[in-house]
A = this chain, B = another copy of it.
Amino acid sequence: MTVAPAPTLLAARIDAVLAGFVDGQRLLWPDDDLRPMLDTVRRFILTGGKRLRPAFCYWAWRGVAAPEERGEDQAAVTAGAALELFHCFALIHDDIIDAGSRRRGQASMHEEFAAAHARHGWRGDARSFGRNTALLCGDLCAMWAEELLTGCPTAPVRLAQAQRLFAVMRAEAVAGEYLEVVAQAMGDFGDGARQRAARVVQLKTARYSVVRPLQIGAVLAGASDAVLDGLAAFGEPLGEAFQLRDDVLGVFGDPARTGKSVLDDLRQAKPTTLLAEAFARGDVRSRAVLSAHVGDPALDEAGAARVRAVLAESGALAAVEERIAAARAEALRALEFLDVAEESRQALGALADFVASRSV
Contacts and interface: CB of A to CB of B under 8 A. Distances in A.
Given A167-B147, A171-B143, A295-B123, A93 B178 contact: no
Interface string A180-211: 01111111000000001001000000000000
A261 interface: no
Contact of A139 (B93, B132, B136, B150): B93
Interface string A90-103: 00010011010000
A226 interface: no
B179 A167 contact: no
B185 A122 contact: yes
The A contact surface, by secondary structure, is helix
Given A117-B185, A129-B185, A136 B177 contact: yes
* Best-surrounded residue of A163, A170, A196 (most CB of chain B within 10 A): A170
A174 interface: yes
Contact of A143 (B132, B142, B187): B142
B122 A150 contact: no
Interface string A229-253: 0000000000000000000000000
Interface residues of A, number: 53
A140 interface: yes
A57 B178 CA distance: 33
B133 A135 contact: no
Interface stretch (A30-38, A279-287, A307-315, A324-332): A30-38
A175 interface: yes
A25 interface: yes
A28 interface: yes
25 contacts: A28-B171, A33-B182, A33-B183, A34-B178, A93-B136, A96-B132, A96-B135, A97-B132, A117-B185, A122-B185, A123-B269, A124-B184, A124-B295, A129-B181, A135-B135, A136-B174, A139-B174, A140-B174, A142-B142, A142-B143, A143-B167, A150-B160, A150-B163, A150-B167, A156-B156
Interface of A: 25, 28-29, 31, 33-34, 37, 93, 96-97, 99, 117, 120, 122-124, 128-129, 131-133, 135-136, 139-140, 142-144, 146-147, 150, 156, 160, 163, 167, 170-171, 174-175, 177-179, 181-187, 196, 199, 269, 295
